[in-house]
Structure 1
Amino acid sequence: MTDNAAARERLMAGEAWNDFCDTMRAAGQVVIDRTPDADEQDRVEGFRYLTRMSLMAYMRCIENLPPMEKRSIWVIPPPMKGGQGVQSPDQDHVVQPIDAAKRYRVTGQRGSAPYVHMSAWTPKVPDWVGVDSVGDRAVAVLEEFNPSWSQTPFTALLDEFTDGAGNVDFVLSADNPGVDNWMPVAPETRELMMRIVYDDRDAQSSPRLVIEPLEPTPVIHTPDAADMSKRLAIAAQMVLSVQSDYADWTDTLAKAENQLQLTTEHYLRVGGSPDDRHFEFGYWRIGDGEALVVEFKPPVCRHWNFQLCNHWMENLANYFTGQGYASSQDVQADADGVVLLVVAAEKPTSGTWVDTAGRDHGVMGLRFVEHESIPEIVTKLVRLSDLG
């Protein structure tokens, strides 16, 4: 029996769906097992996080449709403004599914957002997916089958393909098409990821791009049974891998509370692109009347930001209103060029307040984009009353 025939048979017999449900149950068990001290708010947010990641996986894996004959327009910003994995509130993630066996042409307008970074999203999806059962061994095969463990072998700035009038035009393909404006992808690449960073969302415009295949590509509205078997497996495993990978990362950070550190292995595992940014992470915890002070002298850089997240690495709920967040566009350094951030439940008498929105623990991150040097970062836990 061919792989396609076996995958089709599993879908038609209901085995692919049973696998999907078993893997989703394993993802829920991560929330149950990894909620610290059975904290009620962390448990609630853990299950909410699970449903949000399910929506993300359904859109990226089940509804996944690479560009066909009809032109695909990248809609920016995306329907859900991200907040997972310490994503910056000043940044949008845009994901465009592609078939790496095809060549695509991307055209349109650059927009005025100052920084647009692209990467070839290349996850670990072995050939047997959809053909062999995963189910009760989903956790055991994460090292081999991990859709969120996405390497980004090729990256580029959109500026590299933009002319003086702001027009974008480049070819996206695994094979060199013999043109100068080419962004390569790997044969296993499933998506093109775009990170757009704004200084001022109200005043700056996002890129408006069209992607279309260069070879004839028939429009397919519904996947066949074999393809659907694979899509179900990838979707469920993506939810599990996101839950598991970020829980492992959080456990590592929690071993050194109130410190910022490089955790490069975890960052790369979830598809981080460190080629033009310096990103440090930590686990913050403050008691009644306490404050966490974060002090550094920003280097020359495109942008920096500091943010607080909950235990599951989601941005605090009110980050668009300023709670739990500070950035280079709204923080003034002192006369010596030093920034003093104060993480506290109440407004301090000195420094820039990072409001915890009534929380006392979670994940934090400090990033510098297109930095010329790496700053020294000092963190210390103090009594709020001692700040003056």
Structure 2
Amino acid sequence: MDRRDFVRGAGALGSLGLLPGAASLAGEPSGSGEGTGVASRDAMLGLLDTLRELQDTYLTPRYGISRPADIAEGERMLAHLLHTGLQFFLEADPARPRFTPYVTPQRKLLGDNPDALYYFAPIRGDRRYRIRGRLGGATFTSFTVEAGSGEGGAATASVAELDDSRLEVAADGSFEILLGGDRPATGNWMPLAPEAGQVTTRHYYETPACIAADPHAGQELDIEAVDPPPLAPWGGDAGIASRLGRVANFVREHLALAVPDPASRPDIPWVSTTPNRFAAPGQWRSESGYGNLSAWYAMAPYVLRPGEALEIRGRFPDCRFANVVLWNRFMQTFDYTRRQVSFNRNQLQYEDDGSFRLYVAHEDPGHANWLATEGRVSGLVYWRYLLLVTPPQAVTARVVSL
């Protein structure tokens, strides 16, 4: 018997319910589950309806999305959000959480970074947890607790933060952090507000090759519940319906973040709306409580015709970490596994005075500091600076002919 025959046979046994009257023993209807009236079926139909609704609402000319290429990017973004929502919430258990990579080279959202590893774990504000890990070669490590995401929604605020400048670390680079409950007399601790829904970890690297492109890269990291409750039954129809509902919430709220209404887009000082021109860097905390509270940013769109390049000149401030990356309009990185679409400070070649000059271009500009556009005539250029010692200055840019 080959494996296919075994799977068919096992499936046939499953369809019999194994025992006559098994459905009645489980306290569930014994019907086929077809049609409405079954919560998990309705939730799955609701998830599919959510995807159609989001297509019809956001991937439209009202949101500046009309070209086939832009629609294609939007459909891909929607698929990545669905993938992430399933990864995070279909099997999530805040009573026994585990860390899941926030983004991968094949699953991108919320402004991913080729020079960083991010992890997500679902938690509850009325429980206690213990995180163990090791810094490894990370240039910067931080932990934040976010509120507002308990039912799969987009986080609304960072309610606790701890980075490696205040983290007690053993000589071998290992650490332990307690979350929730009363503050211990010694050791690392983060409070948990009642509305806490997730913990996010950030690990930034300035390696010669971007860390996120390394298929073997990973962070030594673990989370466990302190005094977890006894294991409960699997949840049945209602439990699966609830999980699918969280997935739908995740996709809906995060697409709304990625595709803001042009009529209500907030005015963020460090986000330039003028193509090929950058504003002075600023911090998220001036616009929102959700984000890396140790970072400064600057962003501008680029628009380049064939044969043109955007020449950018500047100087990095004294800080812990800095890089620049190219995104599409939905804050997803270009393909960093096969092209140079980002630079950290250890990847650039510098001028004699310590400044840098780099080029955003469709084709090789004949300079080592080339950010490849993949042929996209427009996109976003995004700068990050962490734990500043000196204030960052705006870079200058001009369009040049190749």
TM-score (norm 2): 0.76
For residue 372 of structure 1, the aligned residue among 369, 379, 389 is: 389
Which of 88, 93, 101 is residue 60 of structure 1 equivalent to?
Answer: 88
State yes or no: 1:344 paired with 2:323: no
1:334 aligns with 2:361: no
Identify unmatched segments of 5+ residues in structure 2. 1-35, 266-270
Q: For the residues of structure 2 that align with 1:315 and 1:372, how far apart are their CA atoms?
A: 28
Number of equivalent positions: 352
Shift of 1:239: 1.0
Larger Rg: 2
Corresponding residue number in structure 2 for 1:51? 79
Change (3 A) 1:360 1:321: same
Aligned residue in 1 for 2:376: 359
Which amino acid in structure 2 is aligned with residue 217 of structure 1?
Answer: P
Higher relative contact order (CA 8 A, sep 6+): 1
Does 2:290 align with 1:276?
Answer: no
Contact kept? 1:76, 1:208, Cα under 8 Å: no
Q: 1:152 to 1:11 in 2, by over 3 A?
A: farther
Q: Deviations over 1:281-328 (max 9, x none)?
A: 2211111222212221111122211111122221112x1334322221
Q: Which amino acid aligns with 2:306?
A: D
Offset of 1:219 from its aligned partner? 3.2
Which residue of structure 1 aligns with residue 251 of structure 2?
A: 239
Does 2:182 match 1:155?
A: no
Structure 1: stretches of 5+ with no match in the other structure: 1-8, 130-145
Aligned CA distance change for structure 1 residues 300 and 174 (closer, same or farther; 3 Å): same
5 Å-filtered alignment, 1:93-242, equals 93-123=118-148, 147-158=153-164, 160-173=167-180, 175-200=182-207, 201=211, 206-220=218-232, 222-223=234-235, 225-242=237-254
Cα distance, 1:28–1:265 mapped onto 2, change above 3 Å: farther
Shift of 1:53: 0.5
Q: Give the TM-score, by structure 1 length.
A: 0.78
1:321 aligns to what SS in structure 2?
coil
- The answer to whether the 8 A contact 2:59-2:65 is kept is no
Query: Relative to structure 2, which stretch is displaced further, 294-303 or 25-34?
Result: 25-34
Amino acid at match of 2:157: Q
Decide which structure has greater helix share: 1
Percent pairwise identity: 22
Give the deviation of 1:85 after TM superposition: 2.8
Structure 1 residues 377 and 356, CA gap change in structure 2 (3 angstroms): same
Q: Offset at 1:351? A: 6.9
